[in-house]
Each structure stands twice: as C-alpha cells, then as structure tokens.
Chain A
Amino acid sequence: MLEATWLIPALPLAGVLLLLAFGRRFGEPYAGWVATGAMAGSFLTALVVLLGLLERPGDDRQFVQTLYTWVPAGGFSVDVGFLVDPLSMTMVLFITGVGSLIHLYSIGYMHGDERFHQFFLYLNAFAASMLVLVLGDNLLLTFLGWEGVGACSYLLISFWFTRESAAVAGKKAFVTNRIGDWGFMVAMFLAFVSLGTLTYTEIFEGAEQLAEATAAGIALLLFVGAAGKSAQLPLYVWLPDAMEGPTPVSALIHAATMVTSGVYLMARINPVLAQAEWVLTVIAAVGVATALFAALAAVAQRDIKKVLAYSTVSQLGFMFLAVGVGAYVAAIFHMVTHAFFKALLFLGAGSVMHGLHDEQDMARMGGVRRYMPVTAGVFIIGWLAIAGVPPFSGFWSKDEILINALEVNPVLFVLALVAALLTAYYMTRQVLLVFFGEERWREPAELVSAQPDPAAGAQADAEVEPGSEPERTPAADELATVGGHRADPHDEPHESPAIMLVPLVVLAVLATVGGALNLPFAKDLHFLEHFLEPVFGENLHHLEAGGLLKLVVAGIAVAVAAAGIAAACAVYLKERVAPERVEPELLRRAWYVDEGLAAFFGGPGRAGATVLAERVDAQGIDGAVNGVGALIRAGGSRLRHVQTGFVRTYALGIAAGAVLLLGWFLLRAGL
C-alpha cells in the first residue's frame, strides 16, 4: 500500500494537465469537479498509504520511494523520491482533506468567473507542489515544492489581475518569499559542503557529527526560509496583502497549508536543530514576538480578511514558539487544529462577503446572523475554537503550547498568554461587528466610508499611491455590482448555496472535535504524540508537569480567553468605551511597516538603483567606452586619406577575408 505514495502528488498534477488541455472545454462547473475529484482521490490515496504505514511497528514507520535521479553532478546527487513517515503523512492528510473541502467550496464561490477553469488549474498545481514539499525525501525536492507553492500563490493572489492592488500584492508575496528562499538555498549549500548530501535520512544520520556552528548555520538559514514562507517577523509583510486573492485561496494557501510549511521544515530538520540549541531560543523568541506583534495589529483592522490574516501570522508565531521550546508535537497539533478552524473562519468570511455583495469592511456589516444563520453558526464555532474555549479544538492545542512554554521559560509563557488574550479579544470583536449589532450595511455607503479605511491603502510599493481604494469585485457578484457600490443598498444579505455550506459544516465539526487527536488526560489519549514520537525521539520536549499543574495552566488559559471575550464585549457590545479609543492609528496601520517599506523602496531604494542604472552604467561605464571611441576618432581623422571611415566597408572586407580564408582552408585541407 505504501507503493501508492507517488499517486498522492501525481493525482493533482494529473488534474493540472487535464485542465491545461481541456479546462476551457470542461467549463463551469465541471472543471471544478475535475479538480475536486483529483484532490479527493489524493486524500483517499493518502488514507491507504497511512494504513500501510500503521501496519508497521511504531519504530519502523519510515518508507522511501525513489522515482528517478533528478540532479546528478559529480559528488552531488539528488533524487525525486518521497519520504513517508508519521510527520509527512500527518501533513499530507490535513492538506488533502482540508484541500478537498476548499476545492468543493470554490465551485460555489467562483461561480460566474470567466476564468473559472484557470482558478482550479492553479489550485491543483498548488496542491501538487504542496504535497511534493511535504513528501520530498531531500531538501532540494522540498525546495521545489516550496518555490512551486510560492509561484502558485503568486498566480492566485494576482488572480484578479486587472486590480492594481492584487497585482502588487502577488509580486510582493513572491519577492518577499524569495528573500526567505535565499536562506533556504544557502542552507542547502552549507549542508552539502558539510554533509555531502541533501537527503533527509542521510542528514539525520550525519547530524550528530556536525560542528555546532555549522548546525546552527544550517538551522538559522533554513529558519530564514521558514520565516518567509510562514510569515514571521520580519518577513511577514506579504501575508496581509495576500488577502487580495479570492477567499478560498486565503483559506487554503494563506491559512491552512502553505504558510505552515515553515513549521513543517523546522520539525523535519529537528536532528539538526538539536545540535544547536541556541537556535531554538531564537526561533521561540521570533515566534512569540510575531504572535504578539500581529495580534496587536489584528485588534484594530477593519477589513474582515485582514483581521484573519494578522491572526494567522499570530497563530503561526504560536507554532514557532512550540518548535522553539522543543514541543514539536504541540506545534503540529496546533497546525492541524488551526487548519480546521482558520479555514473555517476564512471560508465563513467568504460566505459573509458573498452574502453581502463583496463587502469586506466590517464597519459596513452587522446583524448578519439573522440572514445567514448557517454561516453565523459555523463562524461562531470557529471563533470559540481560536479563542481557546474548551472543548473546542484550539483550546487543547494552544494549552499544550502554553504548558510546554512554561516549563522551558516562564517569560515565553507570559508573553504567549498575552497573545492568547488578544486572540480572544480581536476574534470576539470580529464576531460582534459582523454578526451582531446594528445592520450597518443598510446605510448608504457614503456615510460610513466617509473616513476611508487607512489599512487598505497601505501598500509597500511606491507605484500604488497610498490611500487608493481597491475596487473589490469578487467573481460571484461582479454583475450585481455597479460602479463599486452595491446595486441596491437595501438588498438583504442572503445565505450561501449548499455547495459552500457543506464544507463549512464539515470544517465546523472538525474544529469542534479536532482536539480529540491529542487529549491530555491519559497517556492512551495522546494519539498524535504516539504517532509522531518516532520522528522526534529525544529531541522532543517531554512534559514533567503533574496533573495539578496541567489543571492550573488550563484554568489560566480559560480565564485568559474569558477575559479577552469579556473585554471585547464591553467595548463592542455594551459600548462602555468608544471603539475608536481602543483602535489607535498605530495598530490600525499595522505599526506603519508598509508605509515604511514604501517610503524606503520608493525613496532611497529607487534612487540608488537609478544612480546605478543612469549614472554608473549609462554615463560612467558606457560613457568611458564612447569616450575611447571619440578619442580614437579624433586621432584617426589624420589618417582619413588612407581609410574610407565606413565601417561597413571594413566589415565587408573582414567578411570577404574570413570567407576566403575559410575557402583556402577547405581547399588545402582537401575536403
């Protein structure tokens, strides 16, 4: 059964080829069904492979399938091969599972888009790359998937390319990721020079002989790559802008799967990390800093998707914190539950936007629960899960990260608690603004948007003027939208079609019970930990905490969540404090980072490059060349009588000479 592994990425790849050849002919909705079928087939194959893996004894669950030699060059050789072990299979299962649901949802969401088939082509291409990323049995193949998902992300963010903001966001995502990829590449060079291989199993064997400095170098450089892909400080800047893509893309790529690749990579190379412990401290510090930083920015966002985007950055920070304290299982656990509830929240947000004719500004929402009961219900489940309310899934995984952090370093624990408090706060704020309160969407658009949303205008790129309001017209309602305003302001929100609701309900169930994967009560209930343990071995931080301490930490976590929810209720439900006072400009503009970047690249960055292109190249180097030419011409004017001065005469002479010479050559050579 393990031999079927290659089919897991091959099925979505086959979907790509099919859609490439016949996509237009399939049209809507069949192109979507083909892609969804490929994805579901991949999920089923993954289940079969999982069964094959489970048949083996716990310490022998590692299988390598080699297809062919990819890059052979001297002492360097890399295969196209797949590594099946508990870690890669955990990733594969939730990628294909959640991926299938999001594909299904997209059939409804992308209804009416004229490039419907192309969307699914990209989505399948993304899935294939993502699966290569997690299944690759060496760093280089993982890198292929890594850059592949980056390219698909670029294509999907700028899917509605006629919108300037979408085009800019796509480019920004790719280039920022490339900065991280630079680290990944140099890490591979270093690994090759010090170990002579890029294959994971050989790296794991050789890791113990690595000097600490080398191991630290490899680990840190890979972490640079991880920070780019998983949107950690300081490379997170692309993710909030990536919300320009269609919402299913935000759910699949920019919440559930691609952005977790960095966490996966860190977990994958845990034997290298074990050789350089201080790098773990760096990772934990960056993680917790990102969690706080992004959570604070999420507190004041007005765009429904931007809140979720900053929330994703923050939750990824939690996962890196877990990696940094050696709690790899907790990191993967949170990754899985996060995939459930964040995909749910994004798709729920997409459903709300769908129902509200593409409104994204939460100031123009409110009271939606009465019109979209299913969406509201599942969104509330997602909210409870991310806020850390038991028994929903997020509580269990976050609790595990917290208690591990406490054992390693109490400071990390306290900072993570603050981030958790903020999480509960901003998510409650979002639920209240969207689903409760006054029906602000009834008011004429001009009244509410008299003060433009500052966050929307912040673009890193100088060519987009700050403050330009992007025109938001997702596919589904393009026809119903006239001049950027809703056709009829009194048009009531409508519930989304069943094809969008089914995935939402499934995800809601998963977000509710997902915690059962790894319950803390008895050893027998640590399913995920038992499954993953062989991958991490001694490198895994084992809790020493007794039952009492666990209970206390859980109690604190619940109290913190309750406090966050209560605070948000006080502001946005009871209005004890004016909302404007707790949404300072600094946070609303996300610490002015985008403005700073735009100022730098538009100012000194551009100026520097211009100097190089115009002064140094055109005037300096080329000027010197032309100067030499002029000098020779001046000197040569004395010899004008002898020479005609026409280059074409010279050229013809040379040509004739060369041909004659060649002819003579041939004649003498006796050919």
Chain B
Amino acid sequence: MTNDLGFPLLSTIVLLPIAGAVAVALTPRARGEIARIVGLTTSTGTGILTLVLLWQFELGEAGLQFVSRHEWVADLGAAWYLGVDGISLFLVVLTGVLFPIALVGAAPKHDPKPYVAWLLLLEAGCLGAFMALDLLLFFVFFELVIVPIYFLIAGWGYEDRVYAALKFFLYTLAGSALFLVGVVATAFLHQQATGELTFDLVVIAETQAIAPTTARWLFAAFALAFAVKVPVFPFHTWLPDAHTQAPTAGSVVLAGVMLKVGTYGFVRFGLYLFPEATAWFAPVLVTLGVVGIIYGAVVAAMQADLKRLVAFSSVAHLGFVVLGTFALTTQGIQGGILQMVNHGISTGALFLLVGMIYERRHTRRISELRGLQKPAPVLAAVFTVVMLSSIGLPGLNGFVGEFLVLLGAFVTYRWWAVVAAAGVILAALYLLWAYQRVFHGEPDEANAGMLDLTWRERAVMAPLLVLIVFLGVYPKPVLERIEPAVDRLVAHVEAHSDYEQPTVAAGGER
C-alpha cells in the first residue's frame, strides 16, 4: 500500500460532489443557473482531482494506493476505508470526466436545482463505490447510487418515466437486499472462523477463512445483486426502459458509469473475495455473458426506438465485460476493465448524440428520422466515429477491449469465444442499419431543416472523440496501469482454487 500524498485525495474526491450537492440545495430555487454553475464547478473540480489521481498513480504497483482508513464502529469492525488500484483507477477517472460532460451536454427541461443536486449525489455514490474497501461502506454507496437515478428518471424523464423508474428501483432494490444479507453473513462467518469481526475487504479476502461451500452461497447472493445491476441476461429488462425514459444526462451516467458498479463489483467482490466460488461459478457467468452478447445484439436490431437500440447495445457490450471477467485470464480481465471504460465513453457519447437529435426533432422513432446527414453533416460525422468505435473498429477504443476479452476467453473457453466473436458481426448490422435509416437517404420535410451541432455541442463531444481515438491508437498507458493489479488478482484466484491460468496467457515458458 503505497502512494501517501499526505492529503486525503480519495476522501476529497468523494466528498466534493456531496458538498456540491449540499451547496446546490442551498441555492435559491428561482435562480436555476446558480445551481448549474455550482454543480458544474464541483463536478469539474472532482474531475480534475481524478486526473491528479491518475497523474500521481504509481506505475507497476499491483497493490492499493492512496489508502485512506479511519475507524468507524470499532465494535462492528467497519471503517471509512478507501483505496485505488489499477482495477478501479480508470473507473474513477471515467466517472470524474463523464459527469461534467453530462452536465454540460444535456440541460434539464425544468427544476435545474434538484436535478443538479441529484446528479452530484449520484457522482459521489459512484465514486465511493469504486473506491470503497469496506463491505459495509461499499453497500452504503451501492445504495446511494439507486436513489438519485430513481428521482432523475421519475422527475425529468419521458412519457413512461414513472413505470421505468419504479421498475428500476424495485428491481435493483431486490438485488441490494440480497447483497446486504450477503455482506452481513460474510462478516459474521468470517468472525466465526477467525474470531475477529470486520468488514474489511482486504482482510476477509486475504484470509479466505470461510468454508468453500458456504462461500459459494455468499458468492451467489453477491452475484445476483451485481447481475441485476450490470445487467446480465436475463436480468436486463429494467435497463431498456430506464435508459429510454431517463433524461439524456441520466442515460449517459447510467450507461457510462452506474452499470460499471455492477461489473466492478464482480471483479472486486467476486473474484477477490470468493476466488474458489468464482472459479466454480465461472462457466455459468461466461455462458450468460455470451448469451447477452448475441441476444442483446439481435434484440437491438429490431428496436424501433433509437434510444432503446443503444440501450440494448449496452446489454451486448456488458456481456463482453462479463465474459472477459469470468474467463479468468489476464487478457480477459484486462480487456473487461478496458471495455468498461470504453463502453462508458462510446455509449455515453451515443446517448448524448441521441439526446441532441431528440432536442431537435422531438422523436426517437427511427422511422420518423431520415436523411439527417444532409442537413447535419457534422452531427453525422461525429455519430459515424462513435458508431464505429461501438462496432469495435480497430484503431478506435472499442476494439482493444473487445479483442482482449475474446482473446482471453478463447484461452479458457474456446467455443464460447468463437460464438461471442460473432457478436461483432451483429454489432455492425444493427448500428449500420440504424445509421442508414436515420442519416442516409433523402431527408423528408420534417428532417430537412434539422440544425447541425452547435459549438457548445461540439465542445462537449470533442473530449470524447479524442479519447475514442487515443485509446484505440495508444492503449498502452491504460493497459500497463491495469495489468499489475490484474496479475495479482489472477494469482489470488489461482492460489485459492484449483484453477490455473494457461501459460500462454500468463506469458510464461512455452
């Protein structure tokens, strides 16, 4: 555990958006612009701090960095315990970057004050979840995330917002109930075995004191909660409704960041906490991941609503993350983590673009859009690049993650990877087909007058486009920061289970 700045960087990163939310709550209701300025300032400040974190992060260090630990309830062994390693680093940075973009990129139709406050609270929840190293603390953040999203969808969403918000809320709540039981049971079972009551993730994971058969039940409880959150097929049906009905900024952070709390949970609280159970359950989750890839793509192709199509594409993309994670190879997990980041960038950008189209045309129905490339060439060009990134075109970000996932999966689950690779064909099919129907052809009267991107919108998209190209051409800085932590995680799984990574993946002697 290294990298002590003498300054509680991680705590500040979590608390700044909360402070911002409180400050926004104190602004006068009638002056919405003040709320927006305060919100933007704090989220930008948080974003800058996450970049500082990236800058200060020590390369080649597999363990946790910037650890901040303060006792909370000594009797319960719970603590305010934050830390970052290669697995969580880029998720923290992604959160820090995406929230200001979402705030600038999509303005609420009414009541900006509570809207901004909820978004900031959501940001704090996501950041906390990615950094928490205490099971109870993670649970608090995990829950904290659900509430703002509920209010954002119900308050600023579209026509079916109430149904979508309710469904999302109840569905994820059911998952968290299970998760809470799992957390408490884990702590007490650990106490039973060792005599020490603690919620400390590192201690519980490194001791591995819980009997394997029990651990499998606990893993199942955790996995169900995460599977709903990700969502893994067949727990995905809340997602298209929530994404479609959420306001644009909500969809961006929902897809871009919040879903990753689930996939990240799998890595941190599945692989790390229950290595033996992970290896035991891996075939099930790998299979569900592959089903999600194919199923999500086919269903996406048949959607009549552009936003819903993007939502279903998330099901397919997150299937890749699940596949890579449970392939249990260095490449698979590294690719999975990279894919989380890439999906956040590309799908976030796609939701922003769909939001911009909706602002102009007040429809998301593909059949009502047509020939947009003629009146809006810049919008079309940006959409093309983002689409190609989402399709996984080499040279853009999406490819590297997907390729590593498939490569890593091929090492341990050959035929699953062969089927999953067909997902890249389907991705091209549904996205290009949608593009053709929306942007190609001769625009009709309703679409001919469509305005192109404004300078503000171009400024919002620019950083995302830069990231899309940069991470595709030069992913090394990201991969080399992720790798040590992943190597350590794989070694951890190997040490506590029968599983052994094939040498070709580890790069050993052949």
CB neighbours (8 Å) of A669 from chain B are: 70-72, 79-80
Are A612 and B140 in contact, with the CB atoms below 8 A?
Answer: no
Are A651 and B475 in contact, with the CB atoms below 8 A?
Answer: no
> Quick one: closest B residue to A150, CB to CB?
B393
What is the bound-complex CA distance between A148 and B422, given in angstroms? 19
Are B474 and A75 in contact, with the CB atoms below 8 A?
Answer: no
CB distance from B413 to the nearest CB of A (A): 11
Interface residues of A in 166-210 (CB under 8 A from B): 166-168, 170-171, 174-175, 178-179, 181-182, 185-186, 188-190, 192-193, 196
Interface residues of B in 117-155 (CB under 8 A from A): 121, 137, 140, 143-144, 146-148, 150-151, 154
Using known A-B contacts A76-B407, A186-B421, determine if residue A164 contacts B428 with beta carbons closer than 8 Å.
no
CB neighbours (8 Å) of B403 from chain A are: 71, 140, 185
What is the bound-complex CA distance between A68 and B140, given in angstroms? 44
In the assembled complex, B6 has its CB within 8 A of some CB on chain A:
no
CB neighbours (8 Å) of A75 from chain B are: 330-331, 503-508
CB neighbours (8 Å) of A617 from chain B are: 237, 295, 299
Contact of A185 among B8, B150, B424 (CB under 8 A): B424
Are B483 and A671 in contact, with the CB atoms below 8 A?
Answer: no
Are B476 and A70 in contact, with the CB atoms below 8 A?
Answer: yes
Using known A-B contacts A167-B441, A612-B298, determine if residue A647 contacts B169 with beta carbons closer than 8 Å.
yes
In the assembled complex, B256 has its CB within 8 A of some CB on chain A:
no
Using known A-B contacts A162-B442, A174-B428, A647-B150, determine if residue A612 contacts B299 with beta carbons closer than 8 Å.
yes
Are A74 and B441 in contact, with the CB atoms below 8 A?
Answer: no
Are B507 and A178 in contact, with the CB atoms below 8 A?
Answer: no
Q: What class of interface size applies to chain A in its complex with B?
A: 35 or more
Are B406 and A73 in contact, with the CB atoms below 8 A?
Answer: no
Contact of B154 among A73, A151, A648 (CB under 8 A): A648
Contact of A665 among B72, B384, B408 (CB under 8 A): B72
In the assembled complex, B425 has its CB within 8 A of some CB on chain A:
yes
In the assembled complex, A642 has its CB within 8 A of some CB on chain B:
no
CB distance from A31 to the nearest CB of B (A): 15
CB neighbours (8 Å) of A181 from chain B are: 424-425
What is the bound-complex CA distance between A8 and B345, given in angstroms? 32
Number of interface residues of B (CB under 8 A): 92
CB neighbours (8 Å) of B237 from chain A are: 617, 621-622, 625
CB neighbours (8 Å) of B334 from chain A are: 73-74
CB neighbours (8 Å) of B425 from chain A are: 175, 178-179, 181-182
In the assembled complex, B394 has its CB within 8 A of some CB on chain A:
yes
In the assembled complex, A610 has its CB within 8 A of some CB on chain B:
yes
1/0 per residue B146-186: CB within 8 Å of A? Answer: 11101100100000000001110111000000000000000
> Quick one: closest A residue to B146, CB to CB?
A654
> Quick one: closest B residue to A192, CB to CB?
B407
1/0 per residue A57-93: CB within 8 Å of B? Answer: 0000000000011111111100000000000000000
CB neighbours (8 Å) of A666 from chain B are: 80
9-residue interface stretch from A289-297, A374-382, A655-663: A655-663
Interface residues of A in 606-643 (CB under 8 A from B): 609-610, 612-614, 617, 621-622, 625-626, 629
CB neighbours (8 Å) of B147 from chain A are: 651-652, 654-655, 658
In the assembled complex, A490 has its CB within 8 A of some CB on chain B:
no
Are B410 and A158 in contact, with the CB atoms below 8 A?
Answer: no
By CB atoms of chain A within 10 A, which of B80, B400, B439, B503 has the most?
A: B80
By CB atoms of chain A within 10 A, which of B329, B393, B425, B486 has the most?
A: B425
Using known A-B contacts A162-B440, A182-B422, determine if residue A73 contacts B394 with beta carbons closer than 8 Å.
no
CB neighbours (8 Å) of B96 from chain A are: none
Are B433 and A171 in contact, with the CB atoms below 8 A?
Answer: yes
CB distance from A596 to the nearest CB of B (A): 18
In the assembled complex, B274 has its CB within 8 A of some CB on chain A:
no
In the assembled complex, B265 has its CB within 8 A of some CB on chain A:
no
CB neighbours (8 Å) of B110 from chain A are: none
In the assembled complex, B44 has its CB within 8 A of some CB on chain A:
no
> Quick one: closest B residue to A144, CB to CB?
B394
What is the bound-complex CA distance between A170 and B428, given in angstroms? 12
CB neighbours (8 Å) of A188 from chain B are: 407
CB distance from B306 to the nearest CB of A (A): 15
CB distance from A213 to the nearest CB of B (A): 13
Are B140 and A175 in contact, with the CB atoms below 8 A?
Answer: no
> Quick one: closest A residue to B170, CB to CB?
A629
CB neighbours (8 Å) of A626 from chain B are: 167
Are B411 and A671 in contact, with the CB atoms below 8 A?
Answer: no
CB neighbours (8 Å) of B504 from chain A are: 75, 192-193, 196
Are B298 and A71 in contact, with the CB atoms below 8 A?
Answer: no
In the assembled complex, A371 has its CB within 8 A of some CB on chain B:
no
CB distance from A80 to the nearest CB of B (A): 8
In the assembled complex, A143 has its CB within 8 A of some CB on chain B:
yes
What is the bound-complex CA distance between A186 and B11, given in angstroms? 45
In the assembled complex, B48 has its CB within 8 A of some CB on chain A:
no
1/0 per residue B317-349: CB within 8 Å of A? Answer: 000000000000111001100000000000000
In the assembled complex, A436 has its CB within 8 A of some CB on chain B:
no
Are A668 and B72 in contact, with the CB atoms below 8 A?
Answer: yes
Are B436 and A167 in contact, with the CB atoms below 8 A?
Answer: yes
Are B487 and A74 in contact, with the CB atoms below 8 A?
Answer: yes
CB neighbours (8 Å) of A662 from chain B are: 18, 140, 144
What is the bound-complex CA distance between A610 and B303, given in angstroms? 9
In the assembled complex, B282 has its CB within 8 A of some CB on chain A:
no
Contact of B371 among A140, A158, A162 (CB under 8 A): A162
CB neighbours (8 Å) of B393 from chain A are: 147-148, 151
What is the bound-complex CA distance between A59 and B334, given in angstroms? 41
Are B441 and A73 in contact, with the CB atoms below 8 A?
Answer: no
Contact of A193 among B144, B146, B410, B479 (CB under 8 A): B410
By CB atoms of chain B within 10 A, which of A151, A168, A612, A669 has the most?
A: A669
Are B79 and A71 in contact, with the CB atoms below 8 A?
Answer: no
1/0 per residue A116-129: CB within 8 Å of B? Answer: 00000000000000
What is the bound-complex CA distance between A69 and B479, given in angstroms? 11
CB neighbours (8 Å) of A650 from chain B are: 169
Are B170 and A658 in contact, with the CB atoms below 8 A?
Answer: no
CB neighbours (8 Å) of B479 from chain A are: 71-73
> Quick one: closest A residue to B373, CB to CB?
A161
CB neighbours (8 Å) of B417 from chain A are: 186, 189
In the assembled complex, A670 has its CB within 8 A of some CB on chain B:
yes
Interface residues of B in 343-388 (CB under 8 A from A): 371, 373-374, 384, 388
CB neighbours (8 Å) of B436 from chain A are: 158, 167-168, 170-171
By CB atoms of chain B within 10 A, which of A69, A71, A158, A670 has the most?
A: A71
CB distance from B128 to the nearest CB of A (A): 8
What is the bound-complex CA distance between A621 and B236, given in angstroms? 9
CB neighbours (8 Å) of A174 from chain B are: 428, 432
What is the bound-complex CA distance between A614 and B394, given in angstroms? 33
What is the bound-complex CA distance between A170 and B431, given in angstroms? 13
In the assembled complex, B212 has its CB within 8 A of some CB on chain A:
no
CB neighbours (8 Å) of A651 from chain B are: 147, 150-151, 169
CB neighbours (8 Å) of B121 from chain A are: 655
Instruction: Kindly list the 10 A-B residue pairs having the minimum CB-CB distance in the complex, ordered from nearest.
Output: A75-B507, A74-B330, A167-B440, A669-B70, A613-B302, A189-B410, A669-B80, A622-B237, A144-B394, A655-B147
Apart from A73-B407, A190-B410, A652-B147, list 17 A-B contacts with CB within 8 A: A68-B474, A75-B508, A151-B388, A161-B373, A161-B374, A162-B371, A170-B432, A186-B418, A193-B411, A196-B504, A617-B299, A621-B237, A625-B167, A648-B151, A651-B150, A665-B72, A671-B70
Q: Which residues of A contact B (CB under 8 A)?
A: 68-76, 140, 143-144, 147-148, 151, 154-155, 158, 161-162, 164, 166-168, 170-171, 174-175, 178-179, 181-182, 185-186, 188-190, 192-193, 196, 463, 609-610, 612-614, 617, 621-622, 625-626, 629, 647-648, 650-652, 654-655, 658-659, 661-662, 665-666, 668-671
24 A-B interface contacts by CB (under 8 A): A68-B476, A71-B476, A74-B331, A75-B508, A76-B407, A76-B507, A147-B394, A162-B374, A162-B441, A162-B442, A170-B432, A171-B433, A174-B428, A178-B429, A182-B421, A186-B417, A193-B504, A609-B301, A612-B295, A625-B171, A651-B150, A655-B147, A658-B147, A659-B144
